[in-house]
């Protein structure tokens, strides 16, 4: 088999930044990382000269709704493939398509579309499972989710959905809802990650949820409870629980808009790179110019406005989704939050891989893992994106 070799780069591994090495890929996997002087080239080898740029594992986005003018809720194969290609141009090699609160009929239809698109996806970031965001959310914290579709979890309802697809890898739920704790235990038993989201829970409810399997928090700070007063007494919320529960992992939309510099630094300092994943939460406007857009499907979605590097509700009273890309997240953490590059890369690669349960094959430059690789310069501008040994983007 022809080898793909990357040389003359600064390789970001779990152990730091290494130079003077060459990375050898064969049959879609990383075969070896060797010293340059030990490299013996063959005529059929495909060689990429990184020209001193950084080389890291491919970026993994575990919460994304679309991009490049497409949304996964459009329910078409073209939308799935178009969004995957759009994000590949920014270093994403693997992503988890995310749904919005909708009817069961719309949800079931997207399961079929996902399967078809996954089989045809050769040019974009690979699909690594589905993330269901809703419909089991608190009406007080629904954000840009359509409140018309909100409901409490009923076993016959969510088990029907789980039975309909083997591709679901995570499900975001408000754990204080009636039936949510039982759902967490059942979902976890089915190999799906239950995640706390769009919630008005107090700390005690969040702790109980963690014990029931809700070990992750969806887009920390967005659509969740913090310190509140109830009958004159103060209660900590989900935000405080995320910090106090050591085993709780979190994800943040590190676009510099959803969370400003002090909060990005706060998360990094108190949760750290091993417990914090970066996610885009991007909607169709990612990679698109400012102006009018739609959050959700073209048929049933909500009108939003893209400006100031973010999507907003039409009255501009709240954000309505991100238009970030993964390279922007890393750039923001390094340049705005002043986080070391190695840690920012970990939050975009190995940590999300661990959270979603695929770290055995993705998330780091190590022998035997998938040859998912991104090459970028000092400004985190991507020049090459490689998925399972195949170049899916080059500048």
Whether residue 365 is predicted with pLDDT greater than 90 in this model: the reply is yes
Whether residue 172 is predicted with pLDDT greater than 80 in this model: the reply is yes
Structure tokens at 264: 């990005």
What is the average per-residue pLDDT within 269-295? 95
Whether residue 1 is predicted with pLDDT greater than 80 in this model: the reply is no
Lowest mean pLDDT among 128-142, 193-207, 288-302, 347-361: 288-302
User: What is the set of domains in the chain, with CATH numbers?
Assistant: 3-55+380-394 (2.30.40.10), 60-363 (3.20.20.140)
Confidence of residue 213 (pLDDT cuts 50, 70, 90): very high
| Whole-number pLDDT of residue 327 | 98
pLDDT tens-digit series, residues 88-105: 999 999 999 999 888 899
Say what percent of the chain tops pLDDT 90. 90
Whether residue 144 is predicted with pLDDT greater than 80 in this model: the reply is no
pLDDT tens-digit series, residues 26-54: 999 999 999 999 999 999 999 999 999 99
Average pLDDT, the chain: 96
| Whole-number pLDDT of residue 96 | 98
Cα–Cα distances (Å) from 266 to 152, 242, 262, 319, 321, in that order, read 33, 12, 6, 21, 22
- H/E stretch holding 206 reads helix 203-211
Question: Can you tell me which residue has the tokens 């060459």?
Answer: 22
pTM of the model: 0.97
CB atoms within 10 A of CB 280: 32
Beta strands in 14-142 (DSSP E): 16-18, 21-26, 29-35, 46-49, 54-57, 59-64, 66-67, 70-71, 92-97, 126-127, 130-133
What is the average per-residue pLDDT within 160-187? 98
Distance between CA atoms of residues 8 and 14, nearest Å:
19
Confidence of residue 112 (pLDDT cuts 50, 70, 90): very high
Say what percent of the chain tops pLDDT 70. 100
| Whole-number pLDDT of residue 295 | 85
């Amino acid at each position: 088999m022809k080898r793909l070799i990357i040389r003359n780069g600064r390789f970001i591994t779990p152990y730091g930044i290494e130079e003077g090495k060459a990375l050898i890929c064969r049959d879609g996997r990383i075969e070896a990382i060797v010293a340059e002087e030990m490299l013996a080239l063959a005529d059929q080898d495909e060689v990429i000269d990184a020209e001193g740029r950084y080389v890291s594992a491919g970026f993994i986005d575990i919460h994304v709704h679309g991009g490049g003018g497409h949304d996964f809720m459009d329910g078409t194969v073209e939308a799935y493939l178009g969004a995957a290609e759009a994000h590949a141009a920014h270093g994403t090699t693997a992503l988890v398509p995310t749904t919005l609160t909708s009817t069961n009929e719309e949800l079931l239809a997207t399961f079929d579309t996902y399967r078809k698109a996954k089989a045809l996806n050769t040019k974009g970031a690979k699909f690594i499972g589905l993330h269901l965001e809703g419909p089991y959310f608190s009406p007080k914290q629904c954000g840009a989710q359509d409140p018309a579709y909100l409901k409490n979890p009923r076993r016959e309802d969510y088990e029907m959905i789980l039975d309909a697809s083997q591709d679901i890898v995570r499900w975001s739920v408000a754990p204080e809802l009636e039936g949510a704790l039982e759902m967490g235990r059942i979902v976890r038993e089915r190999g799906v990650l239950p995640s706390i989201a769009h919630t008005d829970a107090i700390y005690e409810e969040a702790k109980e949820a963690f014990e029931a399997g809700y070990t992750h928090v969806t887009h920390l700070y967005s659509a969740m409870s913090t310190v509140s007063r109830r009958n004159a007494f103060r209660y900590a919320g989900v935000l405080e629980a995320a910090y106090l529960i050591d085993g709780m992992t979190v994800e943040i939309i590190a676009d510099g808009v959803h969370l400003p510099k002090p909060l990005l630094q706060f998360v990094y300092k108190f949760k750290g790179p091993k417990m914090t994943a970066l996610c885009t939460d991007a909607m169709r406007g990612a990679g698109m110019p400012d102006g009018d857009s739609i959050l959700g499907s073209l048929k049933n979605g909500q009108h939003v406005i893209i400006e100031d590097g973010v999507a907003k509700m039409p009255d501009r009273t709240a954000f309505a989704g991100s238009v970030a890309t993964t390279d922007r997240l890393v750039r923001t953490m390094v340049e705005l939050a002043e986080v070391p590059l190695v840690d920012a890369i970990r939050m975009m690669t190995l940590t999300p891989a661990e959270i979603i349960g695929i770290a055995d094959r993705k998330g780091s430059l190590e022998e035997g893992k998938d040859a998912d690789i991104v090459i970028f310069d000092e400004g985190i501008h991507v020049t090459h994106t490689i998925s399972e040994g195949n170049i899916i983007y080059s500048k």
